[in-house]
A and B are shown apart, each in its own frame.
Chain A
Amino acid sequence: MSASIRKIAIFVVLGLVIGLPSAIAQTTLKLATVAPDGTTWMREMRSAAEMVETATEGRVRIKFYPGGVMGNAPTVLRKMRIGQLHGGAFTSGELAGLYPDFFVYGIPFLFHGRDEVRFVRAELDDRLREGLKARGLTMLGIAGGGFAYLMSDSEITSGEDLINAKVWVPEGDEVSALSLELAGVSPIPLPLSDVYTGLQTGLIDTVVNTPAGAIAFQWHTKVDYLTDVPVAYVVGVLAVDNKAIDRLSESDRRMLIDIMSSALERLEEINEADNIEAKAVLSKEGITAVEPAADEMEFWHELAGKTVTELEQSGRLEFELLDDIQELLRTYRARAAVEQHQ
């Protein structure tokens, strides 16, 4: 990150000393996000936007539409296509309709821990960036949101428990739905906006979210148990239409991406700390953390493999990174096993 800051500083200095092409008109990038105004996310975004405006001497302004006022992700993507918006913040799953490989970080039970995520992302984030670019969007930054866990009103420590539960799956998340079906569960698809009401009415009794997300959406008042096994890794992406980015000069473009990606890196650090704190708060709020027995743990982890195989064989979606992610995980686990024996 410090390298990025240095780069930004150099750009700022260059901008001040030699000036930048004045022929380039001012551009206002209109970005939508569901994060409410006043949240950490929006504070970081607004502060980064100010830095961009200063660094580009006002040539690049960013206007945010917070709190989902521009609609859900499909609506935002549609508005981007007709030029009403230039970009927005999305979860990885929300971009998967455009680029299915954004599903891969969220394959249930794929990752066994944070270190594996770091290892894989160090290789694959850039590939996702390139793939997204080829599909018309420029990634301004990517931020890990942490692991989502199963939270439920009765204990879930086995596949059997899960089969008996009324499990929510995010609407449109085909990979999670497939994974649950392979586990013998009939998941109930709902948009995020209906989950709290679903818990209230008993339509669903089992949800998946990060600890911080569960508290922010007040789901913690409707569940009693947290299954202490990481289910899926959540990623947030700030992306802008290539056409809007291409209008900027090369130096403005680089400043924009450097500043915004640094902001998202900071947010990832904040998210990690938040989730640790939030998990402790859930326990304080009376939510009991439960762990599956060792053989059940194997069941969960095998489910990830089955999901990947099914995804590859069914050809329902076209993935480019499935082989790579599996290879990276094999490498990491083999290395970790060797280190453990030493």
Chain B
Amino acid sequence: MDAACFKECDLSPAKTRPPGLIVVFLAIGLLLSTGCSTLVSTATDRFAGALSAGILNQDDLDTVRDGMPAYLLLVDGFIIENPQNSALLLAGAELYSSYSGAFTDDPERARRLADRAREYGIRALCSESDVLCEAVDSPHEEWVAALDAADEDNLAALYGFAASWATWIELNSGDWDAIADIPKVEAAMRRVIAIDPDFRSGWPQLYLGVLTTQLPPAFGGKPEVGREFFDTALAKSKGQNLMVHVLYAQQYARLVFNQALHDQLLQDAIASDVRAEDLTLINVLAQQRARRLLSESKDFF
């Protein structure tokens, strides 16, 4: 029932923060999803929906930074009351991922919050699929085999879990346990787009762009595969998601040492209007990052 609700409600997209070694994704698709949850009343639906639109379309980062902790507690409360509700668990995973990845300066605190995000993500996945649930901690090949069991009904749970996992890896990038999980997250995101290439307007492709541009060609990396994902993400987001431009520059253009492309992508992001439905906040963050990357361009190249 929750899964059906997810489909109907067209969850708002996850958001990203530019990554360091691996990938940091801001996922603020939480609030509409809470609006979908079966437990909440119509009044709560309206409240959550309004709050969601408020956050996603906010252009003042400090307001979001200050306001989000209250919502973390609110979602915790809902989850305590409804421990098996996957929509709420996914909302929790996404909210905690967003906050830990983009608005938490203290690394230890960020890791603590990302732990909770991943825990909610696993619980959401487990509430929807026993096969996937049991395979999460299995060796890579078993996880890949289990992914065949995923279908449209648990697409949102798989994607939400993989997104919270990606943030968790980024925040634990000094930990080999986390680094060893990168191929599993990539496999999960590939499964998402195999089931529905249009899911979330290019967000899964953006994750894949980042995940496939971690290694230089000398180590067996294939940057051109990443480039294709970034191009697809640009097309599917109709160029409105400026974080695609920024991560394209940061991950791909830097990896292949293409300064012209790097600077062009960042200048495009800076020159674009941040206002776009459910993308305003991420676009403000993207422009902030674009300015920094552009200022480093001369030294990097």
Seen from chain A, the residues whose Cβ lies within 8 Å of a Cβ on chain B are 34, 36-40, 63, 65-69, 72, 192-197, 212, 215-218, 220-221, 274, 277-278, 281-282, 284-287
| Contacts A39-B21, A221-B141, A286-B139; A281 near B220 (Cβ below 8 A) | no
Point out the residue from A37, A217, A274 that lies within 8 Å of B219, measured CB to CB.
Answer: A217
B116 near A: Cβ within 8 Å?
no
The 7 closest A-B pairs by CB, nearest first: A286-B139, A68-B218, A69-B257, A67-B216, A196-B220, A221-B140, A68-B216
Determine how close the nearest CB of chain A comes to the CB of B267; give it in whole angstroms: 21
A66 partner residues in chain B, CB cutoff 8 A: 216
Q: Are B257 and A65 in contact (CB under 8 A)?
A: yes
Docked Cα-Cα span, A277 to B20, in Å, equals 21
| Chain B residue, CB-CB nearest to A63 | B299
A-B contacts besides A36-B216, A68-B217, 14 pairs, CB < 8 Å: A36-B214, A63-B299, A66-B216, A67-B254, A68-B218, A68-B219, A69-B216, A69-B256, A193-B218, A215-B180, A278-B176, A281-B176, A285-B180, A287-B139
B179 interface contact, C-beta 8 A: yes
Q: Which residues of B contact A192 (CB under 8 A)?
A: 218-220
Can you list 29 A-B pairs, Cβ within 8 angstroms, ordered by A?
A34-B216, A36-B216, A36-B219, A37-B300, A38-B20, A38-B21, A40-B174, A66-B216, A68-B217, A68-B218, A69-B216, A69-B255, A192-B219, A193-B218, A194-B220, A215-B176, A216-B215, A217-B215, A217-B219, A218-B183, A220-B180, A221-B141, A281-B176, A281-B177, A281-B180, A284-B180, A285-B139, A286-B138, A287-B139
- Residue ID in chain B nearest A42 by CB atoms: B21
A34 in contact with B218 given A212-B176, A218-B183, A277-B176 (CB within 8 Å)? yes
B169 touches A (CB below 8 Å): no
Q: Is B290 an interface residue (CB 8 A)?
A: no
Q: List, in ascending order, chain A residues with CB within 8 A of B139's CB.
A: 285-287
CB of B182 closer than 8 Å to a CB of A: yes
Q: How far is the CB of A210 from chain B (nearest CB, A)?
A: 11
Cβ-defined partner of B218 (8 Å) among A72, A197, A218, A282: A72
**By the criterion CB–CB under 8 Å, are A285 and B140 in contact?**
yes
Instruction: Please state if B179 and A216 are interface contacts (CB–CB under 8 Å).
Output: yes
- Closest B-chain residue to A200, C-beta based? B220
**Minimal beta-carbon separation of B167 from chain A (angstroms):** 16
Bound-state CA distance A194–B219 (Å) is 8
Q: Nearest-CB distance from B257 to chain A (Å)?
A: 4
B window 7-55: CB within 8 A of A? 20-21
Expressed in whole angstroms, the Cα–Cα distance for A300 and B83 within the complex equals 56
What is the minimal beta-carbon distance from B220 to any residue of chain A, in angstroms?
A: 4
Provide the bound-state CA to CA distance between A216 and B174, in Å: 12
B184: nearest residue on chain A (CB-CB)?
A221
Contacts of B217 in A (CB 8 A): 68, 193
A277 and B220 alpha carbons, distance in the complex (Å):
23
Contact A220 B140 (CB under 8 A): yes
CB distance from B282 to the nearest CB of A (A): 21
Residues of the A chain whose Cβ atoms lie less than 8 Å from the Cβ of B142: 286
Cα separation A212 to B179 with both chains bound (whole Å) = 10
Query: B257 to A217, Cβ gap below 8 A?
Result: no
Q: Which residues of B contact A287 (CB under 8 A)?
A: 139
Q: Is the CB of A193 within 8 A of B20?
A: no
Residue contact B219 to A216, C-beta cutoff 8 Å: yes
Q: How far is the CA of A217 from the CA of B215 in the complex (A)?
A: 7
A72 surroundings in chain B (CB, below 8 A) = 218
Minimum distance in angstroms from B24 CB to a CB of chain A: 11
Residue of A nearest to B179 (CB): A215
A173 to B175, CA, bound (A): 31
Cα A67 to Cα B21 in complex, Å, equals 12
Measured in the bound complex, the distance between the Cα atoms of B132 and A164 in whole Å is: 36
Chain B, residues 167-190, CB within 8 Å of chain A (1/0): the string is 000000011110110110000000
Interface set, chain B 207-225, CB cutoff 8 A to A: 214-220
For B300, what are the chain A residues with a Cβ–Cβ distance below 8 Å? Answer: 37
A280 to chain B, nearest CB (A): 8
How distant is A69 from chain B, measured CB to nearest CB, in Å? Answer: 4
CB of B246 to closest CB in A, whole Å: 15
**Residue numbers in A under 8 Å from B175 (CB-CB):** 277
Write the B138-177 contact mask toward A (1 if CB under 8 angstroms, else 0): 1111100000000000000000000000000000001111
CB distance from A221 to the nearest CB of B (A): 4
Tell me the residues in window 88-144 of chain B with beta carbons closer than 8 Å to chain A beta carbons. 138-142
Give Cα distance in the complex from A278 to B178, angstroms: 10
* A285 CA / B175 CA spacing, docked (Å): 14
> In the complex, what's the smallest C-beta–C-beta distance from B219 to chain A, in angstroms?
5
**Cα distance A66–B176 in the bound complex, in angstroms:** 21
Q: How many angstroms between the C-alpha atoms of A69 and B180 in the bound complex?
A: 25
Q: With A and B bound together, what is the CA distance between A217 and B222 in angstroms?
A: 12
- With CB as the reference atom, state the residue of chain A lying closest to B177: A281
Chain B residues contacting A212 (CB-CB under 8 Å) are 176
Q: How far is the CA of A25 from the CA of B275 in the complex (A)?
A: 49
Chain B 289-301, CB-CB to A under 8 Å as 1, else 0, gives 0000000000110
Inter-chain contacts of B177 with A (CB < 8 A): 277, 281, 284
CA distance A8 to B180 in the complex (A): 38
* Closest-CB distance, B259 to chain A (whole angstroms): 11
Residue of B nearest to A196 (CB): B220
A286 partner residues in chain B, CB cutoff 8 A:
138-140, 142
